């Protein structure tokens, strides 16, 4: 059996990569994904370019670390945590823009944000359809100002 593996090292790496990826799908939580991808890449490279077993093992180790690092870097780049606002939806709303559903009456009106309707207050009387920006929150009322184009 070792002779067969030595004769077709790309088959070993592709099989190992496939088994690691299957094991990952069964619920490893992300730990085997990068090793599986690295094994598949090594298998493809060994299929194209014959390499020694020592170099294959080193390449597998380096690729596992590199793929995991690239994934970590990409995740940190796209997910920018909102510091200090976890579970504070009202504070996350500051700066949002919306359109008035109805004209203001005594400074109060409503806007639709996401799947909800919010009460707003503006010191200026505005007509329906006016674009507004949330500048602060007072209880469950959003204080807004008209957006100047």
Q: What stretches of 106-148 adopt beta strand conformation (E)?
A: 108-113, 116-121, 131-138, 141-146
Contacts 24+ apart (CB under 8 A), 40-45: 40/13, 40/14, 41/17, 42/13, 42/17, 43/10, 43/11, 43/12, 43/13, 43/14, 43/16, 43/17, 44/10, 44/14
Give the model's pLDDT for residue 72: 87
Mean pLDDT for 83-97 is 75
Query: What percentage of the chain has pLDDT greater than the value 90?
Result: 53
Residue 74 covered by a domain = yes
The whole model's pTM is what? 0.52
Are 8 and 35 in the same domain? Answer: yes
pLDDT digits (tens, 9 = 90+) for 33-85: 999 999 999 999 999 998 898 999 999 999 999 998 988 888 888 776 656 66
Mean pLDDT of the chain: 87
Among candidate residues 28, 50, 78, the one where a domain is terminated: 78
| Full domain range(s) for residue 131 | 89-146
Nearest to 142 by CA among 94, 73, 87, 71: 94
Are 73 and 94 in the same domain? Answer: no
Radius of gyration of the chain (CA): 28
Strand partners, 110: 119
For 94, phi and psi rounded to 5 degrees?
-60, 130
Are 56 and 107 in the same domain? Answer: no
Query: What percentage of the chain has pLDDT greater than the value 70?
Result: 91
pLDDT digits (tens, 9 = 90+) for 107-117: 999 998 888 88
């Amino acid at each position: 059996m070792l002779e067969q593996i030595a004769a077709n090292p790309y088959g070993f790496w592709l099989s190992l990569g496939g088994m690691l990826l299957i094991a990952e799908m069964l619920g490893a939580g992300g730990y085997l994904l990068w090793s599986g991808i690295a094994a598949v890449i090594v298998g493809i490279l060994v299929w194209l370019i014959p390499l020694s077993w020592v170099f294959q093992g080193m390449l597998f180790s380096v690729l596992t670390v590199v793929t995991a690092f690239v994934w970590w870097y990409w995740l940190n780049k796209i997910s920018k945590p909102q510091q200090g606002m976890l579970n504070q939806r009202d504070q996350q709303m500051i700066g949002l823009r919306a359109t008035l559903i109805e004209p203001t009456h005594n400074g109060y009106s409503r806007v639709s944000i996401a799947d909800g309707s919010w009460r707003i207050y503006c010191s200026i009387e505005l007509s329906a359809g006016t674009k507004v920006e949330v500048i602060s929150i007072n209880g469950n009322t959003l204080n807004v100002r008209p957006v100047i184009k």
